[in-house]
Copies of this chain bind each other. A is one copy, B any other.
Amino acid sequence: MLDIGVVGAGIRGRMFTRALGQLQDVRVVGVVDPTPAGAALAAEFGAAAYEGHEDLLSEHDLTGVVVATPDFAHRDAAVAVARAGIGLLVEKPLATDVGQAREIEAAVDAGGGPAMVAFENRWNPRFVAVRQQISEGAVGDVLFQCAHLNDTRFVPERMLSWAARTTPAWFLMPHTVDLALWLSGRTPRSVFATGLRRELARDGIDTYDGVHALVTFDDGTTLALQSHWVLPESYPSVFDFRYELVGSRAAVRVDGSDEGVHFAGPSLQWLHHTTVERDGRLVGVAAEIARDFACLLRGEPVSVPTVAEGVAVTAVVAAVHESVTSGRVVSL
């Protein structure tokens, strides 16, 4: 039996708990979250509730821990878990600071346990299908990439209590940067970016409205990024996610937000089905991540995003912020 702890009982922590809980050899034994959501989640799964990760680690002999705290608050729990040699699943981004990301990486190296970062697009079947084409050579050399991932104002204004403590770039670009690095296999060399700080700040959320960035790779190709938080709430999806790649043999365009189910009810919505509930059970991406984390904990061979990849993504997004602030091209 794999005994699992969960740190962070927000949307993502809850989703991982549920997906792990439906595996036959997994038992969620403890949940860490000082808010009432923590106790509720623990109760739902018959697990113990804790206010800090230290108690979780001291009271259980855990096989793995999920760290799904706010973006900027992964380090302490992740380092403690990793150093103890316990299996680690960290929600993306690994950290919002390159130093902290490296601390986690060092702890994983020191502890020797397995670890992965939940860059969920690696399991998203549309990108799995694209990756297969790339692997088979059907795309040729990657020449241009473009990735937009934006949210409606709902996310900074009502979904996240901690929006002002992060930025749309930290919240969203880890997804797109990881995706671009994974699909193209290239190494980023420099970043130029611009940011606008106006609308959300005016509404009392002191962060960027959004960021535009250009990442240049070692082979001279470029990735254009856009992430903002000011999409109107009438947009039919809470997120707007598009990825494009032009290769020497093929061009690929992926829509990750319009999943082909258009629902015109009180408002128009594009229903999502990348993860769905069928017969009371989660099916899709969340279930696959949980399955692979369990495989990792059991020592079975499985392909997952590594902590080193998490460090690389954090480095790019940190450079984006540095470029916005300095107005200059930042080398990596």
Contacts and interface: CB of A to CB of B under 8 A. Distances in A.
Interface stretch (A67-75, A90-98, A208-216): A208-216
Contacts of A194: 214, 216, 222
Interface in A204-237: 209-210, 212, 214, 216, 220-222, 224, 226, 228, 230-232, 234-236
A260 B272 CA distance: 12
A252 B260 contact: no
Copy tally for this chain in the complex stands at: 4
Nearest to A139: B265
A130 interface: yes
A278 B304 CA distance: 11
Contacts of A214: 192, 194, 212, 214
Nearest to A193: B214
B196 A273 contact: no
A256 interface: yes
A249 B232 CA distance: 7
B226 A224 contact: yes
A124 B192 CA distance: 33
A306 to B, nearest CB: 15
Given A144-B210, A212-B144, A222-B212, A125 B266 contact: no
Interface string A284-299: 1000100010000000
A332 interface: no
A162 interface: no
B133 A263 contact: yes
A165 interface: no
A165 to B, nearest CB: 22
A251 B264 CA distance: 5
Contacts of A262: 252-254
Contacts of A228: 143-144, 246
A99 interface: no
A239 to B, nearest CB: 13
B130 A271 contact: yes
Nearest to A272: B129
A143 B199 contact: yes
Interface in A60-83: none
Interface string A150-187: 10000000000000000000000000000000000000
A258 interface: yes
Given A141-B198, A250-B263, A254-B262, 13 more contacts: A125-B274, A126-B259, A128-B277, A129-B273, A132-B277, A143-B198, A144-B210, A146-B226, A234-B268, A249-B265, A250-B264, A252-B261, A252-B262
7 contacts: A128-B278, A133-B265, A144-B210, A144-B226, A196-B220, A212-B214, A235-B264
- Would you list the 7 A-B pairs with minimal beta carbon distance, nearest first? A250-B265, A125-B273, A129-B273, A255-B260, A194-B222, A253-B262, A125-B276
